[in-house]
Amino acid sequence: MLGLDLGERADAVAEPLRVATSYAVGRALRPLRAPSWMPTPARRRARAAVATLRELADEVLQACRADPSRDAPLVQALIAGIDPVTGKSLSDDEIRDELIIFLFAGNDNLAMTLTYALWALGRHCELQDRVAAEVADLGDRQLIPDDVARLGYTFQVLQEALRLCPPAATGTRMATRDVEVAGYRVQAGTMLAFGRLSVQRDPTLWDDPLTFDPDRFSPGNCEGRDRWQYLPFGGGPRTCIADHFAMLEVTLALATIIRRAEICSLADDFPLAVPITMVAGGPIWARVRLR
């Protein structure tokens, strides 16, 4: 996607992401903040972390500009993008910012989805066996993106994990016209926040909503479902830009893990915390046995 092998540099990327995210979350939640010009220790660390991320993004961008055939579809698409109104392309700074956002969004969110799915499968051995059997049919070779089409049940497991535990637990939209919601008039121009978690666990929309049931997302069961009752990536023209890539990545990751290991969850509850996106509120203990 980015056209850069980060395997050897995972720690170098993860630490700046952690520092920058921690700073942003802390600043957002703090009622009183130091003025932007004050060089606090936390701010110095955050700025150094952001500089590292920009350096990485610039390395990727310049490599793709030097070699237009480089396998990096996201970067190449950003380079080729043209504003339909102005006819202008994105500047290097704008492209770097977009790449950094992808790094942020693809870190905790995917890890959270994968963790919740593994915990749920660890509590339902019969469902885990279905995933293991599905991926076993693909043989022992390394999985590739084209395999996702043959991992239908694994994909459903992740859809159900995202229903019960969407990492982006809330979303916002601006009302474009006056509208009535539950007897209240909302004026055009009002910023609305909605709870994805509440919608996706609403008993008026879902049968037995707290039960983990991937068959909810079988092709037959999806027919006739309201588009707006399942919104892990949002919806409409401002839906998450990386939804398809995220599902591809996490499907291959889950299949690869279950192919190699049997998971047994040691707790019946999954603690949650929401510092900015939803994350595990504590350790998620499990017993792991190689298959």
Which of the given ranges, 61-75, 77-91, 114-128, 269-283, has the highest pLDDT on average?
114-128
**Angle separating helix axes 10-29 and 92-105, nearest 10 degrees:** 90
Query: Minimal CA–CA distance to 243: which of 131, 159, 135?
Result: 159
- Element housing 263 (H / E): strand 261-265
- Top pLDDT among 231 and 23 is at 231
pLDDT (average), residues 34-49: 87
Q: Could you tell me the CA-to-CA distances from 198 to 33, 66, 155, 250 in Å, in that order?
A: 31, 47, 22, 23
Q: What is the secondary structure of 23-53 as a DSSP string?
A: HHHHHHH-SS---TTS--HHHHHHHHHHHHH
Q: Is residue 112 predicted with pLDDT exceeding 70?
A: yes
Least confident of 13-17, 42-46, 167-171: 13-17
Contact between 172 and 151 under an 8 Å Cβ cutoff? The reply is: no
Enumerate the β-bridge partners of residue 174: 191
Q: Kindly provide the b/e burial profile for residues 202-220, where b requires at least 16 CB atoms within 10 angstroms of the residue's own CB.
A: eeeebeeeeebbbebbeee
For residue 8, what pLDDT is reported? 44
11: confidence class by pLDDT, cuts 50, 70, 90: low
Residue carrying the six token digits 């959270």: 112
Look up residue 89 and give its DSSP letter: B
Please report, for the chain, the start and end positions of each structural domain, with discontinuous segments joined by +.
Answer: 7-105, 125-290
Structure tokens at 23: 């700073």
pLDDT (average), residues 98-124: 87
Give just the sign of the alpha carbon dihedral 83, 88, 94, 98: positive
pLDDT (average), residues 75-97: 90
Which of the given ranges, 20-24, 50-54, 60-64, 205-209, has the highest pLDDT on average?
205-209
Q: Which residues contact 99 (CB under 8 A, 6 or more apart)?
A: 2, 57, 60, 61, 74, 75, 78
Q: Is residue 7 predicted with pLDDT exceeding 60?
A: no
Q: Is residue 4 predicted with pLDDT exceeding 70?
A: no
pLDDT (average), residues 231-252: 87
CA 178 to chain centre: 32
Least confident of 7-21, 95-109, 122-136, 239-253: 7-21
pTM of the model: 0.79
Give residue 188's identity as a one-letter amino acid code. A
Enumerate the β-bridge partners of residue 261: 290
For residue 9, what pLDDT is reported? 52
Q: Which residues contact 131 (CB under 8 A, 6 or more apart)?
A: 121, 153, 154, 157, 254, 255, 258
Give the separation between CA 62 and CA 74, rounded to whole angstroms.
14
For residue 12, what pLDDT is reported? 66
Structure tokens at 159: 């859809």
Query: Minimal CA–CA distance to 181: which of 171, 194, 168?
Result: 194
- Percent of the chain having pLDDT more than 70? 93
Least confident of 28-32, 109-113, 232-236: 28-32
pLDDT (average), residues 84-99: 90
Mapping DSSP onto H, E and C, the string for 106-118 reads: CCHHHHHHHHHHH
The domain 125-290 having CATH identifier 3.40.1550.10: the answer here is no
pLDDT (average), residues 180-209: 91
pLDDT (average), residues 154-177: 92
